[in-house]
Structure 1
Amino acid sequence: MNAHSDHANNISFAIVGSGGAGAMTAGAILLEAAGKSGWYGLLNRSVGPQIRGGEAAALVRLSTKPASCMSKQFDILVAIDWKNADRFINAMPVASGGLVICDPAAGDPPKAVLEADCTIVQCPIGELAKSLPGGRENMISVGLVTQLVGLSLERVMEVVATKLGSKGEAAIENGRACIEAGIQAAAGFGHAISMAPPAEKTCDRWLITGNEAVGLGALRGGIRFAAAYPITPATEVLEYLAPALASVGGALVQAEDELASINMIIGASFGGRPSITATSGPGLSLMMESLGLAAASETPIVVVDVMRVGPSTGIATKSEQSDLNIAVYGFHGDADHVVVAPLGVADCLFTAQWAVHIAETLQSPVILLSDQSIGQARVLIDKPAEVSFLTRRKPFEKADEPYKRYAVTADGVSPMSIPGQNGGQYTADGLTHTERGAPSSARHDQRIQLEKRRTKIEGFDYGDHWGVAEGDDGSDTVILTWGSLTGAAREAIDALAAEGISARLVSLRQILPVPLKALEGALAGAKRVLFVEQSFSGQFYRHIRAHIDLPYEVRSLNREGPYIIGPDEIATQIREWKAQ
């Protein structure tokens, strides 16, 4: 039988197990094999609050077209075991008519599964694994899903051979035996889900996470130094950059804490090396004083904040968009700076490269707001187009007169020397200063430098990169969002269009300064505007409302983490609103 009929373009499954059971590895193998077969897809991971150990789940969506967010429900749930699964099983509800496969030796399924409208099939996953040399329960699970969704065994084995190649031929053959045992077991379930054949590939595909894409974008932008202290969920940015920087003559330093890391990149940038750090909310809080130093001294740096649920330690392994306020307003004093946010995993590459360009061009700190839902998601995407920016600091070139490091210029950007450059000496610190950099307590100097820094930030031509405006141009209904929820909003608009309901999307990549003219133009003709954001207090709505008039009927769909707002919720809001 089929789980339910609407699987022409999408199949979603979850593999659950305790820490060390290999659920994430199984999900990653299946996603990569689907990519080799021509499908798209994404993998999110769900783990408990303890970060390491305990419960874990691989959440996978396969699709015939690029997938930008996880499904609301799962067609297949494979439980290697149920240890601590009750803590997070609500994050992976089984679809009506779905299939749950569990080992009878692993105990009873959680209440949420028993009450679901699904078919529960018992499969001795542990016994099957023990019966085979080098048997692994997660590889049995790979076989189960391979059979149920119609993946090619040979494509799966291509991936397994790559991942186990260093362990020798015996390990690969043991893996094949486990997968074949899983396939045989699933063949007896009488349950299959068929998806449309994959489209023919028209370009190369990448399998990449948002954090890796940020690292690559930073590297392409010219970053040659990084310093950071590991923190969930940003650590993978650093793991990518460590070898990548070394390969281009750069370096990464693991600092003793977040305060040290930001001060290191300020120092490296002062010395002429484009620099970056990556952190999450608690680390960004610690960096605020030094971010003010970078703003006042006009030292270009990029700070990546992969947001998680807060405040305090919050839920380190889950996603939220609630660091917007601190990124925009957290600086003390009037410290003009730039905040940007990628619109999805693929856009992490472009936005990181753009952030470096802005920082270097404007000699300003730039905060890039990613989050866990895209930072740690592994996604199959079409190879992104390569972009090029004419990124160059305005250099100090001659010493015909005393050097004015902070000279007032038409665009607010002053020539920047590097240490040791003949005639380029200046005082660099966080004090209010004259154009030459000498400390000053005069109101005149304070005002001149404030105006100068504001001029360069607000007067810069950010071009068409401010965000996206998509959908039915004639619609009077707009979904206004930012960052990682762009994908869910896109899918909501597609679903509504299929029902004959028109709406359009406006999503911001440029958070600060607010792109006023572009945003007002994108909202022209709107009568209804639905704000969509993943924050309890509606930070994005309040931020935009502070900068532009909203002469429309406005509603807000905002919620705290950890459960991500999905396309169905957005579509329901628009559907009900238009029906009134």
Structure 2
Amino acid sequence: MIDQLSWKVGGQQGEGIDSTGEIFAMALNRLGYYLYSYRHFSSRIKGGHTNNKIRVSTKQTRSISDDLDILVAFDQETIDVNIHEMRDGGVVIGDAKFNPVVPEGSKVRLFSVPFTEIANELGTSLMKNMVAIGATSAVLDLPAEAYTEVVEEIFLRKGAKVVEKNMEAIKRGAAYFTEAAGGPLAGFQLNKADGQKRMFMIGNDAIALGFVAGGVRFMSAYPITPASEIMEYLIKKLPQFGGTVIQTEDEIAAATMAIGANYAGVRTVTSSAGPGLSLMMESIGLAGMTETPLVIVDTQRGGPSTGLPTKQEQSDLMAMIYGTHGEIPKVVMAPSTAEEAFYDAVEALNIAEEYQCPVILLTDLQLSLGKQSVEPLDFGKVEIRRGTLDLNAELPEVEGGYFKRYEVTESGVSPRVIPGMKNGIHHVTGVEHDETGKPSEVAGNRLKQMDKRLRKLKNLTFNTPVVKYTPNEEADLLLVGFNSTRGVIEEIIPRLEAEGLKVNHAHLRLIHPFPLKEMKELVDSAKKVAVIENNATGQLANILKMNLGSHEKIESILKYDGNPFLPSEVFNKCKELV
């Protein structure tokens, strides 16, 4: 019996690869296993190789594995592309339709199962994925009944007959494999899971759920990979709470519409990826100058330009901090798990309103689209804070008739009103202005308004700006990352400790303003610092150097080929550093 197993299904986009992985994972999730899945897919609607690699474990896991135990192939390309991941003794299950072969000398066991033929016998080739799931179940020695609940949930709306046919496909696939293999295969059966109920969701859905819980009632956005699922989720959910989503003509319209809605007092968000954020930069500056709350999700992907729209990268970091022309207060948050994505989505809304500034919720493709087990969320932790905005306030009459919307205050945060509030009339403009919003180019006023805006964030409070693992007062190696690299870093720490190394870990959840105190203590107490990130120029490492110095001890471990880090890659690079 084993505690974890890695499974992958592959084929051409559009032939049910995603649904195969989804049904397999959902069934194991219902049994109480921890899961982590990562999809490789092409930048097209149909055609091109795609695969879904799913890690199943009795313990929490947040990264893809180095090797592969079981490969389900719907075409020969799947075998050719993925065979290098197979461990010795692993199993390849291929559709007999394409006469699967493995390279000569491969130490894997190949089973040719007639997915398509069995499915056709049952009435439609579309059920070949269910036959494949059945064959997999035989390898794991799972009964077909483990899939009943999931199959009913997906297909019952099409009728009981469809459910029956799909269950029959699973049973026939399992029976064929069992006969071909001569019984269950040793070494592939998982230890029993804890049976606990957990959600199984992508980071984008966690963010969208956080927005709903946090009071968002309007979203303006333009669809773009890998951010579109946020908009798609809210299109379904917001109308149930009196809200709505508008698909705009472009990202410029999305950002400016979000600014307008926030100005009117509605909690509003938008989301995009790198190319869209480039278009939003002027609007982000407008939100900073007008001190209007604005929450934007940036799901990083491979760039520049169209780049690698369906591949992993973390190369927007500098742009998100410094991309806006001029100088404005801005907050950049970077959740590293789906749970954090949910809670940080709520907190982004609160911070945007409390400090009246743009907040960027930075994720990456692996976090946004990678599906993972999520412990039950605590909605009791959800708190809505609107800062100085009080919709029921009775404003006093003011001298001159104009409300000091941009009043210079010690905290840097000015009183906020929305249109229609009695005695709250003021100017709003993107040019420099005085306390009432009236345009002003007077040098002294400029200094006062700039200083006011920029001192806001000196008082920023953020719960857990750095996720720490610090068992050592002095470490041989401090591992630093952000977003989805947390999973692979956490996985290699025990392996490095087994080598006799003292290892600490700091994962940045708040990147800007930079958590200077927390990071300085950790960097100063480490002999060497390894910054793990998916880009070519070491952007996070450079931010550490800009804020902390310590150039001589900070090293980069980089990967920018479009694929996430594998545990062995980071482990080997860390060993080289020390």
Q: Same fold (TM over 0.5)?
A: yes
Which residue does the alignment assign to 2:120? 130
Aligned counterparts of 1:105 and 1:356: Cα–Cα separation in 2: 53
Task: Give matches, 1:409-424, under 5 Å.
Answer: 409-424=409-424
Q: 1:401 aligns with which of 398, 401, 410?
A: 398
Aligned counterparts of 1:146 and 1:65: Cα–Cα separation in 2: 20
- Structure 1 residues 334 and 201 mapped into 2: Cα distance closer, same or farther (>3 Å)? same
Give the secondary-structure state (helix, strand or coil) at the position aligned to 1:406.
Answer: coil
Q: 1:79 aligns with which of 48, 61, 73?
A: 73
Task: Quote how far apart the aligned CAs of 1:552 are.
Answer: 5.6
Aligned counterparts of 2:105 and 2:397: Cα–Cα separation in 1: 81
User: Counterpart of 1:152 in structure 2: which amino acid?
Assistant: P
CA contact under 8 A between 1:11 and 1:61: conserved in structure 2?
yes
**Which has the larger displacement, 167-176 or 440-449?**
440-449
Task: Quote how far apart the aligned CAs of 1:24 are.
Answer: 1.0
Task: Quote how far apart the aligned CAs of 1:189 are.
Answer: 2.3
**Which has the larger displacement, 500-509 or 270-279?**
500-509
Task: Quote how far apart the aligned CAs of 1:53 are.
Answer: 3.6
Could you give the per-residue CA deviations for residues 479-525 of structure 1, whole angstroms, max 9, x where no partner exists?
01111111111111133334543311101011111011121123342
Which residue does the alignment assign to 1:370? 363
- Is structure 2 residue 184 aligned with structure 1 residue 189? no
Q: 1:95 aligns with which of 87, 93, 105?
A: 87
Task: Give matches, 1:291-440, under 5 Å.
Answer: 291-386=284-379, 387-395=381-389, 397=393, 398-402=395-399, 403-440=403-440
**Which has the larger displacement, 342-351 or 528-537?**
342-351
TM-score (norm 1): 0.93
Task: Give matches, 1:530-549, under 5 Å.
Answer: 530-549=530-549
Aligned counterparts of 2:384 and 2:272: Cα–Cα separation in 1: 27
- Structure 1 residues 221 and 465 mapped into 2: Cα distance closer, same or farther (>3 Å)? farther
Give the secondary-structure state (helix, strand or coil) at the position aligned to 1:523.
Answer: helix
Task: Give matches, 1:36-185, under 5 Å.
Answer: 36-82=30-76, 89-90=81-82, 93-106=85-98, 116-135=106-125, 136-185=127-176
- Is structure 2 residue 277 aligned with structure 1 residue 270? no
**Which has the larger displacement, 47-56 or 174-183?**
47-56
Q: What are the ranges of 5 or more consecutive residues in structure 2 without an aligned counterpart?
A: none
Which residue does the alignment assign to 1:4? none
Which residue does the alignment assign to 1:18? 12
- Structure 1 residues 328 and 58 mapped into 2: Cα distance closer, same or farther (>3 Å)? same
User: Counterpart of 1:182 in structure 2: which amino acid?
Assistant: G
Could you give the per-residue CA deviations for residues 108-133 of structure 1, whole angstroms, max 9, x where no partner exists?
558xx667542332222222222223
Q: What are the ranges of 5 or more consecutive residues in structure 1 without an aligned counterpart?
A: 1-6
Task: Quote how far apart the aligned CAs of 1:193 are.
Answer: 3.8
Which residue does the alignment assign to 2:468? 469
Give the secondary-structure state (helix, strand or coil) at the position aligned to 1:261.
Answer: helix
Task: Quote how far apart the aligned CAs of 1:449 are.
Answer: 1.7
CA contact under 8 A between 1:533 and 1:558: conserved in structure 2?
yes
Aligned counterparts of 2:567 and 2:319: Cα–Cα separation in 1: 27
Give the secondary-structure state (helix, strand or coil) at the position aligned to 1:95.
Answer: strand
Aligned counterparts of 2:45 and 2:396: Cα–Cα separation in 1: 55
Aligned counterparts of 2:173 and 2:257: Cα–Cα separation in 1: 51
CA contact under 8 A between 2:238 and 2:245: conserved in structure 1?
yes
Which residue does the alignment assign to 2:486? 486
Give the secondary-structure state (helix, strand or coil) at the position aligned to 1:291.
Answer: helix
User: Counterpart of 1:302 in structure 2: which amino acid?
Assistant: V
Aligned counterparts of 1:251 and 1:239: Cα–Cα separation in 2: 11
Misfit runs of 4+, over 6 Å:
none
Structural RMSD (CA): 2.1
Aligned counterparts of 1:322 and 1:484: Cα–Cα separation in 2: 13
Give the secondary-structure state (helix, strand or coil) at the position aligned to 1:547.
Answer: helix
CA contact under 8 A between 1:41 and 1:67: conserved in structure 2?
yes
CA contact under 8 A between 1:228 and 1:279: conserved in structure 2?
yes
Give the secondary-structure state (helix, strand or coil) at the position aligned to 1:361.
Answer: helix
Task: Quote how far apart the aligned CAs of 1:340 are.
Answer: 0.6
Aligned counterparts of 1:399 and 1:322: Cα–Cα separation in 2: 49
- Structure 1 residues 534 and 429 mapped into 2: Cα distance closer, same or farther (>3 Å)? same
Which residue does the alignment assign to 2:26? 32
CA contact under 8 A between 2:238 and 2:244: conserved in structure 1?
yes
- Is structure 2 residue 525 aligned with structure 1 residue 528? no
- Structure 1 residues 446 and 85 mapped into 2: Cα distance closer, same or farther (>3 Å)? farther
Task: Give matches, 1:198-217, under 5 Å.
Answer: 198-201=192-195, 204-217=197-210
CA contact under 8 A between 1:21 and 1:137: conserved in structure 2?
no
Aligned counterparts of 2:284 and 2:430: Cα–Cα separation in 1: 10
Aligned counterparts of 1:459 and 1:246: Cα–Cα separation in 2: 36
Which residue does the alignment assign to 1:509? 509
Identity of aligned residues (%): 33
- Structure 1 residues 116 and 222 mapped into 2: Cα distance closer, same or farther (>3 Å)? farther
User: Counterpart of 2:469 in structure 1: which amino acid?
Assistant: E
Task: Quote how far apart the aligned CAs of 1:570 are.
Answer: 1.9
Task: Quote how far apart the aligned CAs of 1:465 are.
Answer: 2.3
Task: Quote how far apart the aligned CAs of 1:471 are.
Answer: 4.2
Which residue does the alignment assign to 1:257? 250
Aligned counterparts of 2:169 and 2:191: Cα–Cα separation in 1: 26
Which residue does the alignment assign to 1:284? 277
Could you give the per-residue CA deviations for residues 364-411 of structure 1, whole angstroms, max 9, x where no partner exists?
111111111111122222213332335113026422424211111121
CA contact under 8 A between 2:33 and 2:194: conserved in structure 1?
no
Task: Give matches, 1:433-472, under 5 Å.
Answer: 433-462=433-462, 464-472=463-471
Aligned counterparts of 1:551 and 1:319: Cα–Cα separation in 2: 27
- Structure 1 residues 114 and 212 mapped into 2: Cα distance closer, same or farther (>3 Å)? farther
User: Counterpart of 1:132 in structure 2: which amino acid?
Assistant: L
Which residue does the alignment assign to 1:519? 519
CA contact under 8 A between 2:478 and 2:528: conserved in structure 1?
yes
Aligned counterparts of 2:251 and 2:150: Cα–Cα separation in 1: 37
**Which has the larger displacement, 159-168 or 377-386?**
377-386
Aligned counterparts of 1:427 and 1:116: Cα–Cα separation in 2: 73
Give the secondary-structure state (helix, strand or coil) at the position aligned to 1:50.
Answer: coil
CA contact under 8 A between 2:99 and 2:112: conserved in structure 1?
no
Aligned counterparts of 2:536 and 2:283: Cα–Cα separation in 1: 28
CA contact under 8 A between 1:103 and 1:124: conserved in structure 2?
yes
Aligned counterparts of 1:429 and 1:381: Cα–Cα separation in 2: 44
Aligned counterparts of 1:270 and 1:466: Cα–Cα separation in 2: 28
CA contact under 8 A between 2:331 and 2:358: conserved in structure 1?
yes
- Structure 1 residues 446 and 149 mapped into 2: Cα distance closer, same or farther (>3 Å)? farther
Could you give the per-residue CA deviations for residues 216-249 of structure 1, whole angstroms, max 9, x where no partner exists?
1112222221010111111110111112211222
Task: Quote how far apart the aligned CAs of 1:91 are.
Answer: 9.6
Which residue does the alignment assign to 1:559? 559
Aligned counterparts of 1:239 and 1:483: Cα–Cα separation in 2: 22
